Each structure stands twice: as structure tokens, then as C-alpha cells.
Amino acid sequence: MCRQPIMRCRLRLDRENIRCMEKPAESLSSDQVGLHRWRMSDLDALERAIYESLDHLVPWMPWAADPGRQQTADFLTRKQKEWETKEAFDYAITSGSVLIGACGLMRRIGAGGLDIGYWLHPRWTGRGLATMATAALVGQGFQLAGIDRIEIHHDAANPASGAVARRLGFAEVERRQAPEGPAAPGGVGIDVIWRMSAVQWKARTAEHAEGAS
């Protein structure tokens, strides 16, 4: 999916991007994708992206089984609140002016950790864009105070999500039975967990920077 080495994805971060932040930057960009914090003005574009992606999303995303304008508006409202409470930091993924997916950093794995979720409109898959967006999130996540590890979780029947983790150097650390079975119809109920430590990411970033010089 990602045909570019990560070192070519040069992120241009907002000025608020400083070490040990309490919250990540509200917008990020690379050569091919942009990320911005969700806003209510994204409602129409997000609703359209979801409906055009339903066949792609329903097998893996429980929320995709019951989409609707009100549900989408509720999602945006919830994401505004979660950002302010620092429970989660969710973004729209864009290419130019087109909203093509979503991603986010979530505090669901205990102290010192964040997990990442993402999806793309199927028209935009196969270009490495999910990998670029996820790399941006990892870089931001490790600048948040107290974060020493980031994980990516996905169902074992969805190897495409694991491919993003693998490209970024995450290590698969565990496979475990989901306590409540498959969360969505395409799943088999086995969670695959990938992990990256802050030390590993720093070393990887330095290695790529050295290779680019």
C-alpha cells in the first residue's frame, strides 16, 4: 500500500507542536494527506464518505451497521468533547479539499499508552495514505506527556490494518480472543495487537533522518 519510504513523508506541524504537549496539534499535513481535528462543518463530507464506503466499512466497523445523519452529527459532537477532556484525539483525513477517511489517538489501553484507529474511503486505498496518516499520529502521540507506547488493534480477519502497522515498524505482541466475540460481521473475534515504544520510534525516526541526509 505505501510505496514511499516514511522518510519522505515530511510533516509540517503547527507551532503548538512542542515536546510534552497536553494535546496534539489540531492540524497536520504531509505531501499527500492532511489531518484536521473534527469540526461540525465536516458533517456533510463525513456523511458522504461513510455512505460511499459502507461496503468497505460494515465488515469491520460496528458503528457502520447503523449510519445516519443524526448518528454522524452525534459522533462529531462526541469527538469535540473527547478532545477537550483528552480522552481521545480524532481527525478527518483529507486529500486536497476532499475528506477521505478518519483516524484518531485514543486512551483505551491504560496509563502511558494510546491506541490508533483509522479507515479510508475505498477509492483512496492502495496509495499508502493510511500509512502516512498513521505515521503523523504516532509522531504526535509520542509528544504527549507521559506516553511511552502506542498500539494498533485489529481483528485477525482484517490483515490490511495490520499491514499499516507492519510498514511503520510496529511489532506484533499478542493475539487474544475478544471477550465478547467478533465486534463486526467480518471479524473472527481474535484481536491482533501491534506495539511501538517511544524509544523504538525515536530510533526509527533518527535512522530515517540519517538515511535522508
pTM of the prediction? 0.87
How many other C-beta atoms can be found within 10 angstroms of the C-beta atom of residue 85?
9
| Domain membership flag for residue 63 | yes
Query: How many structural domains comprise the chain?
Result: 1
CB 115 within 8 A of CB 79: no
Query: Span 11-36, mean pLDDT?
Result: 73
pLDDT at 31: 78
* Cα Rg of the chain, angstroms: 16
d(CA 139, CA 161) in angstroms, rounded, equals: 18
| Domain membership flag for residue 149 | yes
pLDDT at 149: 98
C-alpha cell at 48: 458522504
| Model confidence at 133: pLDDT above 80 | yes
CB 149 within 8 A of CB 202: no
Mean pLDDT score of the chain, rounded to an integer?
A: 90
pLDDT at 207: 86
| Domain membership flag for residue 100 | yes
| Domain membership flag for residue 129 | yes
| Domain membership flag for residue 36 | yes
DSSP conformation letters of 174-201: EEEE-TT--SSTT--SEEEEEEEEHHHH
End-to-end CA distance of the chain: give it in Å, rounded. Answer: 25
pLDDT at 12: 38
Q: What are phi and psi of 185, to 5 degrees?
A: -65, -25
Range of the domain at 173: 6-212
- Give me the sheet containing 190-197, strands edge to edge: 27-29, 34-37, 88-95, 98-106, 113-120, 149-155, 190-197, 171-177
| Domain membership flag for residue 1 | no
| Domain membership flag for residue 165 | yes
| Domain membership flag for residue 178 | yes
CATH number, domain of 118, equals 3.40.630.30
Which amino acid, residue 69? Answer: R
CB 21 within 8 A of CB 144: yes
pLDDT digits (tens, 9 = 90+) for 167-191: 999 999 999 999 889 999 999 999 9
Whose CA is closest to 87, among 104, 74, 101, 70? Answer: 104
